[in-house]
Amino acid sequence: MIPDPIHTTALELFEKGQYTECLGFIHSLSPRERVVPIRILEAVSLIETGSREDAEVCLRDLRITVPDSAEVCIYLGRILRERDDDEARAAFSEAVRLDPDNKDGLSWYADLLMEQDDYNAAIPVLIRLYSLFLEPRILCLLMQAYVKAGMPEKAVDMFICNNRPVCCRIEYLRALSDSGRDDEILSLVQADPHSPPDEFVFLVRSLVKTAPEVADPIILPRIKSSGSTLVSAEYVRLLLKQKRYREAVGVWSSYLSCEQETQLKTLICPALCNIGEFSRAGEIYDSVLFPNPPDAHVSDILELLKAYGDVIRSQYGSVDELMEKAGQVMHPSYAAFAGHCAKESGRHHEAQVYYQKAFRYDIVHGGLLYADFLAESGNNREWEKIMLYILKNTGKITDIEHVASSCIQDISSHIPLIRFLHEKLQKKLPLLSSKGKSIYCQAASLIATEELHNGRYSDGLTLCLDALEKVPPHDQKMAENLFSVLMACKTPGLPVRYTIHDQTRDNYPSGKPLAIPGLTPAEESVLTYIRRHRVCSELELRSVCGTKRVAGLMNRLMRKTMAGGWQVLMKEGVSESGEVYRYEGP
């Protein structure tokens, strides 16, 4: 128990925001006075004063001292999340497990899951959070998670069942749009002439699907009156879909040409190419892609480069100049694009050099592009070496999951690679997202199927049982697949190895010697030997008991041990060395 004066003084300083003074006071206390609540105040004060490393050390010590403290897990998770450490997920998860009603723990964990795009894992956390606190902000997040997870109808139901809060209206419209309920969107948005642009966009999308011929008189007045970027961009997409390229160019030139966002700048390039303005499209692509790469994903940049290459090819017939220009940029997308151009022109060696550059620039994204090139070239031996290297040297969870999801189908027939991936994911299980756990289960299923084909039914069964425990709740298809493989491992009807917790062992007195009356010298020798080795075959026991009639001797020994109150010997199956016996006693 904390002495009241000490606790009061430390808490007063902390609540006043005087964190430096609070730390000074705490550090002046003797070790005996710095009990757990005081140490927690110390850790939080260290966080507030910017001493993150010292705070982490303090919190990790507290995790050992008070392993059942959700508060310690939350603060540790916050520090880890700030530096983008994968362990943050495990810390917040543990906080929720320890205290499922703690608002801070649930909120931090839900925010992290949403940030990681792990919507299926976020849904139960947000449901718990909303059921406890009924805040509209939480409902918005829950609706968003349902939509992103491919369950928009549930988001619609949540909105209706909770009195249609205004702050969740945009998520409601998004859910209606993804559900294909466009008529409801039209009636909702058209009824409000002053609907904000982010809502009006859903009206435009609904018109595209239901009545594109009446879209112009509804959309154009809004664009002219507001000049909204969102609405203008959506209208340009509508015009492109209707192949009204010149009108699309006109709208883009009036309302979007000054935008700096990559997607908006390049939106009009296909229309420019269709009306023959290749040079203008090329200028836009060049301004976006050079001299520095845009802030976009590797695959998106590569698609932009390929589109730019098509424009150049249409103008000049050759992309060699662009290939050389891209090859000088130290970025995996640019090196891969240069390799792609060289490969298309038949310069295989030059293409390989460029793809190797992409690999050196980025082991994950560039490495996968290089691996794809090797696979397409039929260089399977080098492909396998590169894939193993990528899997071995990728450490970040998001990168591991990206590599795994990208290559799982390609390596499914390469069992050594699948085994390596399975082991790597197994070591990271507490940190994996739902997607990562599904991939782990898929790898387990592939290995178990291989064990089944090779007659190793026990190993296949164990793999399936382990993976079934890890299957994300939403992934019913994976669970069914694992169960079907599990049952296939049982179908042959041959003995398999089970790992079963024998409750009778819990009742054995720890200090009681194993005294079985009426044993012959041969039986005594066998019991001593099997107690020491735990698992023995019939062939091994022949030399111990001096007879070939091991089966009869073991049957008598089992009866005598059971009569003496010890159920410690059991048959495990049959091997090439005869029957196999296991000792399960003290």
What pLDDT score was predicted for residue 234? Answer: 93
- pLDDT for 319: 95
120: left (phi over 0), alpha (psi -120 to 50) or beta: alpha
At residue 1, the pLDDT reads: 44
Distance CA 171, CA 393 (A): 40
CA distance 341 to 345: 6
Cα–Cα distance measured from residue 357 to residue 332, given in angstroms and rounded to the nearest whole number: 7
Q: What is d(CA 133, CA 103) in angstroms, rounded to the nearest whole number?
A: 8
For residue 478, the tally of other CB atoms under 10 A from its CB is: 22
State the Cα–Cα distance between residues 267 and 245, nearest whole angstrom: 12
Dihedral sign of CA atoms 40, 45, 48, 51 in order: negative
Residue predicted with more confidence, 213 or 86: 86
Q: How confident is the model at residue 140 (pLDDT cuts 50, 70, 90)?
A: very high
Task: Answer for the pair 22, 51: CB distance below 8 angstroms, yes or no.
Answer: no
505, two tokens: 């062992």
Cis status of the peptide bond prior to 495, with omega within 30 of 0: no
Give the relative orientation of helices 136-148 and 119-133 as an angle to the nearest 10 degrees: 160
Residue partners of 331: CB distance under 8 A and separation at least 6: 293, 301, 361
Residues contacting residue 430 through CB under 8 Å, at least 6 positions apart: 89, 90, 93
pLDDT at 545 over 90: no
Question: Distance between CA 583 and CA 586 in Å, rounded?
Answer: 9
Q: Which residue has the higher pLDDT, 162 or 571?
A: 162
Contacts (Cβ under 8 Å, ≥6 apart) of 66: 36, 72
Residue 429 near residue 443, CB atoms below 8 Å:
no
Three-state DSSP at 218 gives: helix
**What per-residue string of b and e applies to 205-241 under the rule 16 or more CB within 10 Å gives b?**
bbbbeeeeeebeebbeebbeeeebbebbbbbbebbbe
| Structure confidence at residue 494 as a pLDDT band (50, 70, 90) | low
Q: What is the mean pLDDT of the chain?
A: 90
The pLDDT > 90 percentage for the chain reads 66
pLDDT of residue 4: 64
The answer on pLDDT for 103 being more than 90 is: yes
Alpha carbon distances (Å) from 320 to 216, 327, 341, 556 = 43, 10, 8, 85
Beta-carbon contacts of residue 352 (< 8 Å; ≥ 6 apart):
339, 373, 377
User: Do 327 and 301 touch, CB atoms closer than 8 A?
Assistant: no
Quote the CA–CA distance of 132 and 125 in Å, as a whole number.
11
Mean pLDDT of 124-135: 96
Q: In this structure, what DSSP letter does residue 296 have?
A: S
Q: pLDDT value at position 509?
A: 43
User: Which of 345-349, 467-471, 485-489, 524-528 is predicted with the least confidence, judged by mean pLDDT?
Assistant: 524-528
Tens digit of pLDDT for each residue in 255-275? Answer: 999 999 999 999 999 999 999
Please write down the HEC assignment for all residues of 128-158.
HHHHHHCCHHHHHHHHHHHHHCCCHHHHHHH
Q: What is the rounded distance in angstroms from the CA atom of residue 298 to the CA atom of residue 360?
A: 14
- E strand spans, 113-225: none
pLDDT at residue 122 above 70?
yes
User: Which amino acid is residue 248, in one-letter code?
Assistant: A
DSSP symbols for 413-424: T-HHHHHHHHHH
Range in 80-84, 148-152, 403-407, 493-497 with the lowest mean pLDDT: 493-497
Question: Which of the four pLDDT bands, split at 50, 70 and 90, describes residue 548?
Answer: confident
- Residue 251 to residue 246: CA distance in whole angstroms: 9
pTM for the complete prediction? 0.78
Residue 573 has a pLDDT of 65
Quote the crossing angle between the two packed helices 229-241 and 245-255, to the nearest 10°: 170
Q: Would you call 333 exposed, middle or buried from its count of C-beta atoms within 10 A (0-12, 13-18, 19+)?
A: buried
Res 2: pLDDT: 47
Which domains, ranges and CATH numbers included, belong to the chain? 4-168 (1.25.40.10), 503-583 (1.10.10)
Distance CA 92, CA 406 (A): 28
Q: Is residue 504 pLDDT above 50, yes or no? A: no
Which pLDDT score, from 0 to 100, does residue 291 have? 94
pLDDT of residue 516: 72
Among 18-22, 354-358, 421-425, where is mean pLDDT lowest?
A: 18-22
pLDDT tens digits along 183-195 = 999 888 876 777 8
The answer to whether residues 189 and 199 touch, using CB atoms and an 8 Å cutoff, is: yes
Q: Is 259 exposed, middle or buried (0-12, 13-18, 19+ CB in 10 A)?
A: middle
Average pLDDT over residues 439-455: 95
* pLDDT at site 552: 81
Quick check: helix, strand or coil at residue 495? Answer: coil
Tokens 């879909």 appear where? 241
The more confidently predicted of residues 508 and 379 is 379
Q: What is the pLDDT of residue 581?
A: 82
Kindly state the tokens that stand for 119: 């919507």
User: Per mean pLDDT, which range of 209-218, 352-361, 490-499 is the poorest?
Assistant: 490-499
Residue among 106, 108, 104, 111 at smallest CA distance from 96: 106
Instruction: Give me the mean pLDDT over the 409-416 stretch.
Output: 92
Percent of the chain whose pLDDT exceeds 70:
93
Q: How confident is the model at residue 405 (pLDDT cuts 50, 70, 90)?
A: very high
pLDDT at 527 over 90: no
Q: pLDDT of 47-87, one tens digit each?
A: 999 889 899 988 988 888 888 999 999 999 999 999 999 99
State the average pLDDT over residues 558-585: 74
